[in-house]
Amino acid sequence: MSPSSRFQQSFVIFVLLVQVIWIANHMRWIANEQINPWKLGGYAMYTVPTSKDRIDISKISPSGETGPLDPTITYKFVEFLRGIERANPGRVFRCAPLEPRSLRVFFEENPLLRGVDLVFIFSGTRFSQDPVAMQKREQGRVQIEWLGDSNLVYKNLFCGNVETGEISWQ
């Protein structure tokens, strides 16, 4: 066997090995509901229908109850959604927290909401096998609490992981 053909054979074996490892890892992520099965190669995409993901934003009253935002005001979400898409395209990684810069962009787009405690709820439809159904399930949430007019504290709660941080405008 010539050195050239041994190199080609080794290369093909290497590529196949990498592919098998990637498929196994992809299936592990799917089994743990960490990624969207239709993304990153889609090796499990035909195991479930495509998910309809959404973000709901509610205000939190001083008593701790959530309620809708003021319907008489028009809010902007273009740059906020664009920032989320840039950081985690299609929310492929469901357990990934929301980036602080996305929160900053949200409040820059919507200055009337500065000082209002909010909760961002990320949800999507999930397939269940017993009984067979599509159900809306929460993926995670981000809670915002304002400390004065120019500082906020946020808490990301995704897949059992908690991440906190602070953003200030000065």
> What's 46's DSSP letter?
G
Confidence of residue 17 (pLDDT cuts 50, 70, 90): very high
pLDDT tens string 111-125: 989 989 999 998 877
Q: What is the pLDDT of residue 136?
A: 79
Range of the domain at 125: 48-168
Rounded to 10°, the helix 100-109/78-87 angle is 170
31 in any annotated domain: no
91 in any annotated domain: yes
71 in any annotated domain: yes
Confidence of residue 43 (pLDDT cuts 50, 70, 90): low
The torsion region of residue 148 among left (phi > 0), alpha (psi -120 to 50) and beta comes to left
142 in any annotated domain: yes
| Domains of the chain: total | 1
pLDDT tens string 53-93: 788 899 988 888 888 888 888 888 889 989 888 887 777 77
13 in any annotated domain: no
For the full predicted model, state whether its pTM sits above 0.75.
no
